[in-house]
Homo-oligomer: A and B are copies of this chain.
Amino acid sequence: MKAIEVVENNLIISELPIPELKDDEVLIKVKAAGLNRADLAQKKGLYPPPPGASEILGLECSGIIEGIGKKVTSKKVGDEVMALLGGGGYAEFVSCPEFHAINKPKNLDWVESASIPEVYATCWLNLFMEASMTKGEKVVFHAGASGIGTAGIQLAKAFGCESFVTAGSEDKIKKCIDLGASDGEVRSKDIFSKIQSWAPEGVHIILDPVGAEYFENNLGVLGIEGRLIIIGLMGGIETKVNLGHLMIKRQKIIGSTIRARSIDKKNQVMKDLSKKVIPLFESGELKPIVYKALPLSECNEAHAIMESNENIGKIILTLN
């Protein structure tokens, strides 16, 4: 099959064997695959795939079931699905545990469907399962115009919460507000006083891909029983922490990634998405935010767009 290989920080199309199918897995003929920031790190050798995962980049796709393992009961050949992957999406075929693939919403095309699994699974896992987000809470998304941000804003709104964002430009802030954020501030400005003005009693949840650089200020604007979820380290790893504030305010700091989670945990996330989130795509309440779709052969250009941070929402690779 055609698949992307990394050669000296460059992506090239190679001929690789079709993945072998385990008894509890499905084989998907990929129609579209989503880009994620983790792909950039993996390309640079900074984020090796977890044990057992494909070495090929790509954490999500849409496509058609091409084969099923002996023990698979929930899928059949020909089903149109979208899937959360441990890796392998940048290829003609990919395999994954059967429950990590869920039915594609009928009203969305392949590109739109490929934009959903990773960011919605990440938001669902972190906002609802890890941070127990409840109606009426105030949530901050740093990098609000990212795939995660544009998903989180919409999810927060759909579930009765208010969201605020920081992002790299006025255009991005405007887009976030169009999607349902209550307000936003450009990253170059004094974002933390702004956050304080949005939530004088403290925000309830912060979903943060920045890490060290924002850490102390994040805890400062977080309210009583607030949850800070660290999902990325774009702003460094090592920082200071004041455990007194943490304890008196009864706050939680949650380190989180989705890729290395157990099969069962991901089953649960995808089951929740299928039941509680996909219907909102079908009704039109949630919208996939696709910035650009490019053919697989232009994957280096796709990566360059993500590296430049120009995108609002997802970048998708298409296959025939």
Contact = CB atoms under 8 A, between A and B. Distances in A.
Contact of A237 (B230, B233, B239, B244): B244
A243 B247 contact: no
A217 interface: no
B253 A246 contact: yes
14 contacts: A211-B244, A211-B247, A215-B241, A230-B247, A233-B244, A233-B247, A236-B243, A238-B242, A240-B240, A246-B253, A248-B255, A249-B255, A250-B260, A252-B252
Contacts of A215: 241, 243
Given A230-B246, A248-B255, A250-B260, 8 more contacts: A211-B244, A238-B240, A238-B242, A238-B243, A239-B240, A240-B240, A249-B255, A252-B255
Contacts of A255: 243, 245-252
- A contact patch SS: mixed
B252 A247 contact: no
Contacts of A244: 211, 233, 237
A241 B242 contact: no
Contacts of A236: 243
Contacts of A231: 247
Contacts of A260: 248, 250
Given A237-B244, A243-B237, A252 B249 contact: no
A256 interface: yes
Contacts of A253: 241, 246, 252-253
A302 interface: no
A248 B232 CA distance: 10
A193 interface: no
Interface string A196-221: 00000000000000011001000000
